[in-house]
Amino acid sequence: MAARVLLQRRAVATLMLGGVALTPTALFAESPDAARHRRKPIYDDFDITATKALPPPSAATEEPAAPSSSVVSTPLPVTITQDRDHREPHQPHGPSPTDRLAVQIGKARLFLYRHALRAEDAVNRTMDRAFHLEQSFTNTIASLAPPRESGEKLMPGTIYVLVAAMAGSIITRRSNILLRATAPVALGVGTGWTVLPITMGNVGDLAWKYEQRFPVVAENHIKMREGIERGISFAKVHSELGVRYVDEKVTDARETVESWVKKGK
């Protein structure tokens, strides 16, 4: 009985060994592709190794040629990685808060610069006007003075004019208001034309220049001047007639007296 069991076990072991021996296996006629069965190193650059090891895309897509031997080997799948240079570009982000703050600060500086420039221009224009006004006033006062070769002196002549005007106001202090207002002016102007003729001529030319800006005032001045000149001419004519009349009367009286004296002898 024990011998039968041992014989059965030996038969089973023999069948198993024979099955293993008769099982078909893939035999390689030549050494396997080293590039396909090469293990990927841990510390090497994966992209560089892959790009160097892999064939071009056209060659990779082609079907592998049939081996010369009868043994067929199944190709292993190959994974192609994209190059870093062909990655999609990052989309640009919006301006940062620092950039926006810098833009606002630039706008504020430009705003302040424009207003400061306008204020500076306004101050410069005001100073230019004041300078031109001062220069015009100085030139006007200098133009009123008589030339040196004329021999006319302002200091004593001005004092004479002021004294004459004060004398006119003293003389007419008990008169009506119209006479008290016109007499000092008339005496002062008359004394000025007598003592300072060149200076009074310059003053008259300057007054006429300003009066030309107002046509109504200029026309009234012309009419008044013509009336005064006409009155002066009439006064001169009448004075000449009066002097001639007085001379004739004096001459007649002298001749009458002389005739009386001759008759008395």
DSSP 27-82: --SSPPPHHHHPPPPSSS-HHHHHHHHSPPHHHHHSPPPPPSSS---PPPP-PPPP
Residue 245 CA, distance from chain mean position? 82
* Predicted local confidence at residue 96, as pLDDT: 87
First and final C-alpha spacing in the chain: 235
What are residue 146's phi and psi, to 5 degrees?
A: -75, 155
The three-state secondary structure class of 142 is: helix
Per-residue confidence (pLDDT) for residue 89, from 0 to 100: 53
* Phi then psi dihedrals of residue 162, to 5 deg: -65, -40
Alpha carbons 145 and 141: distance in angstroms, whole number:
7
pLDDT one-digit tens code per residue, 176-198: 888 888 999 999 999 998 999 99
pLDDT at 8: 62
> Binning pLDDT at 50, 70 and 90, where does residue 173 land?
confident
User: pLDDT band at 15, cuts 50/70/90?
Assistant: low
Per-residue model confidence (pLDDT) at position 142: 87
| Statement: residue 217 has pLDDT above 90 | no
Instruction: Assign 254 a pLDDT band (cuts: 50, 70, 90).
Output: confident
Q: How many residues does the chain have?
A: 265
Position 87 scores a pLDDT of 53
Rounded to two decimals, the pTM is: 0.45
Q: Where are the alpha helices (DSSP H) in 145-214?
A: 154-171, 177-195, 197-211
Percentage of residues of the chain with pLDDT beyond 70: 64
What is each CA distance from 45 to 64, 76, 92, 106, 136, in whole angstroms? 28, 22, 29, 48, 90
Residue tagged 């009458």 (tokens):
256
Residue with tokens 């007296």: 257
Inter-CA distances, 133 with 124, 129, 208, 213, Å: 14, 6, 20, 18
pLDDT score for 150: 83
Helix (H, G, I), strand (E, B) or coil at 25: coil
